[in-house]
Amino acid sequence: MNPLERLLELQSHDTRIAQLEHRHAQLPEREELNELEHRAGELDGRIETARAQHSELARLQRRYDDDLSAVVAKRDRERTLLYSGEVTAIRELQGLEEEVAALGRRQRVVEDKLLEVMEELESADTDLADLVGSREDLETLMTATTERLTIAAAEIDGECERVRGERAAVAEEVAPDLLARYELLRTQIGGVAVARLEATSCMGCYLTLPLMEVDRLRKLPEVGEAPAGEVDRGSATCPSCARILVI
116 and 134: one domain? yes
Residue 29 near residue 152 (C-beta atoms within 8 A) = yes
Q: What is the DSSP string of 6-33?
A: HHHHHHHHHHHHHHHHHHHHT-HHHHHH
Confidence (pLDDT) at 175: 86
154 and 202: one domain? no
35 and 104: one domain? yes
Last residue of a domain, one of 133, 153, 171: 171
Q: Is 34 helix (H, G, I), strand (E, B) or coil?
A: helix
153 and 181: one domain? no
Q: Is 110 exposed, middle or buried (0-12, 13-18, 19+ CB in 10 A)?
A: buried
- Full-model pTM: 0.70
User: Which residues constitute the domain of residue 216?
Assistant: 176-246
129 and 184: one domain? no
169 vs 205: CA distance, rounded Å:
28
Confidence (pLDDT) at 88: 80
DSSP classification of residue 198: E
Q: Quick one: the chain helix, strand, coil %, rounded to 5?
A: 75, 5, 20
Confidence (pLDDT) at 127: 96
Confidence (pLDDT) at 170: 94
224 and 190: one domain? yes
Mean pLDDT of each 10-residue bin along the chain, 247 residues long: 85 94 95 96 97 96 96 92 84 90 95 96 96 97 97 97 96 90 89 91 91 89 72 84 90
Confidence (pLDDT) at 229: 66
Q: Which helix (H) or strand (E) segment is 160 a member of?
A: helix 90-171
Burial code (b: 16+ CB inside 10 Å, e: under 16) for 33-55 equals: beebeeebeebeeebeebeeebe
87 and 74: one domain? yes
Residue 131 near residue 43 (C-beta atoms within 8 A) = yes
Confidence (pLDDT) at 64: 96
129 and 11: one domain? yes
Q: Which helix (H) or strand (E) segment is 175 a member of?
A: none
Report the number of distinct structural domains present in the chain. Answer: 2
List strand residue ranges (DSSP E) for 136-205, in order.
194-198, 201-202
Confidence (pLDDT) at 83: 83
147 vs 154: CA distance, rounded Å:
11
Confidence (pLDDT) at 37: 97
